[in-house]
Structure 1
Amino acid sequence: MAKSTGPLNPKTTSYEFSGIPGVLGVTFGLPLVCVVLNQMIRRDYFIVGAFSNFDVAELWNHIKPLKWYLTNRELWTYYLAWFGGLALFDVVLPGRTMEGVELRDGTKLPYKINGLALTSTLLATLCIRWQLTNGEMPELQYLYNNQTDLCIIVIIFSFIMSLFLYGASFIPLANKNGHGTRERVLSVSGNSKNIVYDWFIGRELNPRLGPLDLKMFCELRPGLLLWFLINVACLHHYYLQTGKVNNAILFVTLAEGFYIFDGVLNEEGVLTMMDITTDGFGYMLAFGDLALVPFTYTLQARYLTVSPINLSRPYLAFLVATMSLGYYIFHSANKQKSDFRHGKLPHLKSIDTKRGTKLLCDGWWGMSQHMNYFGDWLISLSWCLATGFQTPLTYYYSLYFATLLIHRQKRDEHLCKIKYGDDWQRYESKVPYKIVPYVY
């Protein structure tokens, strides 16, 4: 039975990203950025202190015609085996079942939580392959040597997948009893009736293939774990070339690996995040999850492979301390909000809203509206600082992440103003800072 008396899928009345021009700019601009960054991170672009040998023509060196990528069976087999294998593991590996938030039709979708089983399987596979190949690991070498080409393959895959998602969103779902059909729950932002905009933002809220929730799967599996695998491939390549391990690239691989697996092992946390509860699954998230994350968040490891630096012990300790502080803020702020939602922290101050819910304005959440974002950004900064100060390229992640977090904050603020009305103004008067206390 529907939760509200209004329409299940109200029409979207406002556009994000400045409408169609912004959507088209992101659709074609960010893939271009992805490819350019992958090309620029190569050794032949670096001279300490400046891009003095920068050549625009070199950006397209080794880039093949589109037809080559569309018909390359080897690259497609490599990536589809990765994507399909993870999807299979996600379905068959054991785990516990949790319910997501209540949808507008009054239902709650089940989610299998099996990050521990999946992580164990992946790490065990890497260890077995290391033993079987005497450390050669040809799969990792292939990944290292074909990163730009694979990046383009994944961009194309994201585009095709989002077309499939858009088309499937118009097919009614079968009722659980097998009789008749029911309307799919659409995203509040992706039902504008404009084909391009809805395809980009994502029309359906929770598209599924059988038991596989495609949005949550793509959020936590193929792109996130490929980020880790590319870092490992960079570390492995450096070891094969030099016979030793550089402490800067080791720190980046271990630190980012810890962050990645922390997300996978605590995957139930995403069930209440905006990506899952509010956003549709279209090109925006598909491209971001599958292509942008693994092929731009790995710039630090890729740079340190071709331009290694040795970190002093005091500087390494500083990086560990910075990441630890960021992680502490990020983790404890998220835990505090989760505990509050489950009634475990009744002593914390909050605002009662007309909707019958409470807005937390105490503890971490009395310091800023998104204190967890600040902690998350500090973590990203520690990784970039590990690359030194020879090039701005390796600081892309921290700069992009700051932009992403500010954009998310503004989106969340817009939705909360609509959702809570005057109660949100009361909340803002008590918690005026958005992310960084006393700054923003």
Structure 2
Amino acid sequence: MQQPTPTSNINGRKVDKQAMSTLNPVTTHREFNGLPGAIGITFGLPLVIFFFGLVTNQYYSLQGVNLQIDKVLSQIPSTQSQWADLCFDKYVWGAYLVWFFGLVTLDQILPGTTMQGTKLRDGTYLNYCINGISMSGTLFAILVARCLQVDDFNLPELQFIYDNQLKLSVTCIIFSFLLAVFVYVLSFVPLFKTNGFGTRERILSVNGNTGNVVYDWFIGRELNPRVGNWDIKLFCELRPGMLLWFLINLSCAHEQYHRLGYVTDSLILVTLLQSFYIFDGVLNETGCLTMIDITTDGFGFMLSFGDLAWVPWGYTLQTRYLSIPGNEVILGWYRFAAIVVLHFVGFYIFRASNLQKSNFKNGKLQHMKHIKTATGSKLLIEGWWGLSQHINYLGDWLVGWSWCLPTGFQTPLTYFYVIYFASLLIHRQVRDDMKCQAKYGKDWETYKQLVPYKIIPYIY
């Protein structure tokens, strides 16, 4: 007599356990050249952030040509007690923990719209509370209330951030390490509750199930680590690092205002343009639900460090440089206007191209030229997406240029972002090409013949 197939209850429906056994295939392809690349990034990028913290102060002044190496090096601790003070200052750690878990609390209690993510490999969906509007409103309300309580906009919280940049950046690095360890250990817990209904097998990342502890910790073993309803990956993508980026910029403007009695147009411009970018991302968080970071990548040190340390302390390089005495740049109205135009041209390309692709996927633009693949998918080859395979990347890169140009041309340091971002976008394009080649086969070759340019039309 044939035995019935074992089943398990997931989100209220029965699932074949035999199917579940193949849910998490072993990873064979390794990103970043495997373990050596993972180790190199794990130690290399924190050192970059540490270097930025050493030079973005009064020792890198006089329009960027007077880098006092001896005084920069003197900031590096030479004793165990100095290292302990730098890495584990109780006031800095207390402030950061209040910031991080305060945002976690707000994320859980503020109202929002519940939306489903993309379909997972077991056929289920995760629910997300989209509350970027209420989160942003709460932050602005707190800032306005604090400004009304003090004289001459003298906020000790912003001054604390500015005065403790190096310690705060090191704290963010250490915390990102610890969070990566936490989610890695959590990924081995066999079952966990989802939305309070039943249990489900943990879904691992297709990139993070190699069996190598260091590599899987780095790349992210679990796809969507959660504690209850708190989705750690989406939260870190949009909350603590992005909003801290905004506060760091404000702290730089705050410092310059109280030192000079005014804020230069260059620092105002960078702060405004980056704030627009930050809150556009926070307010349009539904777009993150289909990004490769959420749908494909696991949450390990790579994303933890990127979200919590790299974004706030790497992307604020321009405002931190401009706030240093002697580094003030006066743009004038015509250069100010030209950079604003560049920013919104880039933003328009980025937003319009993504909207066109989204509308096409939703069946609204089926009259546009496309090719049908053997998988049943359709690849758009007209409009923005007839210009290059990743025209949205070009728009994003132009936005990055608008953040760097206000710093002038006295130092290459403030142009680090556009150089780094170009390499990141090219790496993403290569990853996407490999994924699509495996998925679409000959159809992808046909697509590349019709749309030969990868990012920049007629150039690359």
| Band the TM-score falls in, shorter-chain normalisation | over 0.9
Q: Does 1:111 align with 2:111?
A: no
State the AA in 1 paired with 2:191.
L
- Rate the CA distance shift 1:133–1:408 in 2: closer, same or farther, 3 A: same
The aligned runs of 1:361-400 (5 Å cut-off) are 361-400=381-420
Distance 1:53 1:281 in 2: 39
Q: CA deviation at 1:424?
A: 1.3
Q: Does 1:32 align with 2:47?
A: yes
Equivalent position SS for 1:234: helix
CA shift digits 1:78-128 (9 cap, x unpaired) = 001111111111111111111111010001111111111000100110111
CA shift digits 1:23-59 (9 cap, x unpaired) = 100000000000101211223123446356434x723
Are the aligned partners of 2:194 and 2:229 in contact in 1 as well (CA < 8 Å)? no
CA shift digits 1:171-205 (9 cap, x unpaired) = 12246698985321111000011111000000000
Distance 1:136 1:2 in 2: 62
Q: Which residue of 2 aligns with 1:58?
A: 72
Q: CA deviation at 1:160?
A: 0.5
- Structure exhibiting the larger radius of gyration computed from Cα positions: 2
Q: Which residue of 1 aligns with 2:32?
A: 17
1:404 to 405, 420, 424: 424
Distance 1:31 1:412 in 2: 26
Q: CA deviation at 1:400?
A: 1.0
Are the aligned partners of 1:38 and 1:296 in contact in 2 as well (CA < 8 Å)? no
Are the aligned partners of 1:187 and 1:204 in contact in 2 as well (CA < 8 Å)? yes
Equivalent position SS for 2:119: coil
- Rate the CA distance shift 1:2–1:108 in 2: closer, same or farther, 3 A: farther
Distance 1:305 1:423 in 2: 52
**Pairwise CA RMSD:** 1.9
Q: What's the TM-score once normalised by structure 2's chain length?
A: 0.92
Q: Does 1:7 align with 2:7?
A: no
Are the aligned partners of 1:218 and 1:286 in contact in 2 as well (CA < 8 Å)? yes
1:93 to 101, 110, 130: 110
Q: Which residue of 2 aligns with 1:264?
A: 282
- Rate the CA distance shift 1:242–1:2 in 2: closer, same or farther, 3 A: farther
- Rate the CA distance shift 1:182–1:156 in 2: closer, same or farther, 3 A: same
Gaps of 5+ in 1: none
Q: Which residue of 2 aligns with 1:157?
A: 175
Distance 1:177 1:167 in 2: 21
Q: CA deviation at 1:18?
A: 0.9
Distance 1:278 1:174 in 2: 20
State the AA in 2 paired with 1:374.
L
Gaps of 5+ in 2: 1-14
Query: In the comparison of the two structures, how many residue pairs are matched?
Result: 439
Equivalent position SS for 1:43: coil
Distance 1:45 1:249 in 2: 17
The aligned runs of 1:310-389 (5 Å cut-off) are 310-389=330-409
CA shift digits 1:328-362 (9 cap, x unpaired) = 00000111111111111111112212222111221
Identity among equivalent pairs (%): 54
- Rate the CA distance shift 1:163–1:49 in 2: closer, same or farther, 3 A: closer
1:254 to 261, 272, 282: 272
CA shift digits 1:196-241 (9 cap, x unpaired) = 1000000000111111111000000000111111001100111111
After superposing the two structures, state which structure 1 stretch, 401-410 or 250-259, moved more.
401-410
